[in-house]
Amino acid sequence: MGDNREALLGAENKYFENCPGCKVELLKETNPGIPFKHLLYVWVVVLAADKGLQYCKKGGRYWLLCWLCRVIFNTLFGLSTNFWVAVSTRFLLGSLCGILGPMRAYASEVCRKEYQALGMSIISTSWGIGLVIGPALGGFLAQPAEKFPYIFANESLFGRFPYFLPCILISLFAFGVFLISCSLPETLHIHERNDKECDKLNDALVTSTGEPNANEKVRIVGRHPTSQQNLWKNWPLMSSIIVYCVFQLHDMAYAEIFSLWAVSPRKNGGLSYSTADVGEVLAISGCGLLLFQLFLYPLIEKTLGPVMISRLGAVLTIPLLFTYPFIAMLKGLSLMFLISSASVLKNVLSVSITTGLFLLQNRAVTQKQRGAANGISMSAMSIFKAVGPAAGGSLFSWAQNRQNAFFLPGDQMVFFALNMIEVIGLLMTFKPFLIPPDDTVL
């Protein structure tokens, strides 16, 4: 047992016996393949996750509390009897649901470095598919007494609370995920050391901050040095978060604009699609995104790296959006084919950018800081995601009133504005703004 208390600086084949983090590290070392079981857990957990304030520190079983809050407040939302009760339960549901940040950190820690891109891809695709399935499920199951009167009576619980059925089904699914989460192995390293050992090890170790020749005092937790540097001063992390927020602003504005543009009349430059047509396009887009992220993105990231993928995604998005107003001039099957293809490509490029920035954020910090780093990222992103739909809707409404303008009439102005945001994000992926993290900080 004495050997288990010694610093393992150079012996990669030795681990602390009772440390859960060391057990995961040993599993990764002895099993070089893809951790399908753990990634399946990640997929299911993220699929059931909701939006909200995602600022939390990873460790222990924090997300178990998140799932219990989700089950309780989501059920109460379905039983809401007035507007303010509904708003209050949704606020509590969002503010206490800090799941996505820890799961991003977890996915990067259960995978060997060569599979981290796959782990981040699973996070991105599961989250995106959940955002498509959730609203569709809610729309189909809401007001069941009106849609399915032969099953649900008006006097029943589901008749008196018309939105309770989708909420209770989601809560049951969330409770199942809560049970699954109990079996997830902890990745946090927990080693007990006395002060004398820590002082001795501090003299021997140096950690990188992403800047050359940076030496600083570190605190040892198991095999991993943990920097005491404030996360807000970690520029490789903060720069990647800022770039991520800019692209998320673009994506949320695009999501709002695309639906409005698709259902707007052709005389105003739209597609005159029904909501069913829009749903079909989004379904095709989701399938294409799933296939690309699971099978192609990890291979491309291995060749090009996350920074180059993000840049290429932004570069290709600009001419793609430029073609949208011209695609609207087509009709029939050619229109459906081209707009579906364009939607698939746009979502693939957007999620590729997001996944690349996820990788940068997780590689910019040590293990003990990943939960907090991802929490900061999700909290900042939530602000931009709140602004995106409102800004996109306002921009689209303004553009509808300038159909005969000389410069960029109608929807051309909308997609031009989206491209300007994309250009800003692209420029921010270069030095000196974006500083790629030192890959030795894992």
pLDDT at 229 over 90: no
d(CA 35, CA 216): 34
Mean pLDDT, range 44-70, rounded to an integer: 58
d(CA 284, CA 347): 11
pLDDT at 225 over 50: no
Predicted local confidence at residue 298, as pLDDT? 84
For residue 367, which of 200, 207, 212, 178 has the smallest C-alpha distance?
Answer: 207
Beta-strand pair 218-221/224-227: antiparallel
pLDDT at 244 over 90: yes
Helix residue spans in 111-216 (DSSP H): 116-141, 144-147, 157-160, 164-181, 195-204
* AA identity, residue 42: V
Least trusted range by pLDDT, from 57-61, 105-109, 341-345? 57-61
Contact 237, 437 (CB under 8 A): yes
Residues in the chain: 442
pLDDT at 55 over 80: no
Helix residue spans in 272-330 (DSSP H): 275-291, 297-304, 306-327
Contact 384, 354 (CB under 8 A): no
21-27 contact pairs (CB < 8 A, 24+): 21/186, 21/187, 21/188, 21/189, 21/190, 21/222, 21/224, 21/367, 22/189, 22/222, 22/223, 23/185, 24/109, 24/110, 24/185, 24/186, 24/187, 25/223
For residue 425, which of 251, 304, 301, 255 has the smallest C-alpha distance?
Answer: 251
CA distance readout (Å), 133 to 165, 205, 441: 15, 48, 36
Task: Specify the pTM.
Answer: 0.74
* AA identity, residue 205: L
Q: Is 226 helix (H, G, I), strand (E, B) or coil?
A: strand
- Retrieve residue 31's tokens: 């099993």
Q: Over the stretch 355-364, which tens digit does the pLDDT of each residue have?
A: 899 899 988 9
CA distance readout (Å), 214 to 209, 217, 228, 234, 253: 6, 10, 13, 12, 40
pLDDT band for position 4 (cuts 50, 70, 90): very low
Q: Is 170 helix (H, G, I), strand (E, B) or coil?
A: helix
Helix residue spans in 79-115 (DSSP H): 83-95, 100-110
CA distance readout (Å), 387 to 90, 245, 293, 310, 401: 18, 11, 27, 22, 22
Contact 249, 384 (CB under 8 A): yes
Contact 416, 423 (CB under 8 A): no
pLDDT at 349 over 80: yes
Q: Over the stretch 117-163, which tens digit does the pLDDT of each residue have?
A: 888 888 877 876 776 677 667 777 888 888 888 888 888 888 888 88
pLDDT at 12 over 90: no
Residues 6+ apart with CB under 8 A from 57: 371, 372, 375
Predicted local confidence at residue 30, as pLDDT? 85
Read off the DSSP letter of residue 233: G
pLDDT at 208 over 70: no
d(CA 326, CA 321): 10
pLDDT > 70 fraction of the chain, expressed in percent and rounded = 81
Rg (CA), the chain: 24
Residues 6+ apart with CB under 8 A from 241: 361, 376, 377, 380, 381
Of the two residues 129 and 297, the one the predictor is more confident about is 297
For residue 50, which of 90, 20, 85 has the smallest C-alpha distance?
Answer: 90
pLDDT > 90 fraction of the chain, expressed in percent and rounded = 22
Listed by start position, the domains of the chain span 18-181, 231-427
Mean pLDDT, range 337-352, rounded to an integer: 90
pLDDT band for position 97 (cuts 50, 70, 90): low
Contact 127, 49 (CB under 8 A): yes
Contact 192, 171 (CB under 8 A): no
- Retrieve residue 27's tokens: 């599993």
Read off the DSSP letter of residue 227: E
CATH 1.20.140.10 for domain 231-427: no
Across 93-103, b (16+ Cβ under 10 Å) vs e yields bbebbbbbbbb
Predicted local confidence at residue 49, as pLDDT? 67
Q: Over the stretch 381-433, which tens digit does the pLDDT of each residue have?
A: 888 888 888 899 999 999 988 888 888 898 999 999 999 999 999 999 999 99
pLDDT at 228 over 50: no
Least trusted range by pLDDT, from 3-7, 272-276, 380-384? 3-7
Q: Is 207 helix (H, G, I), strand (E, B) or coil?
A: coil
- The four Cα atoms 110, 114, 118, 124 give a dihedral, to 10 degrees, of 80
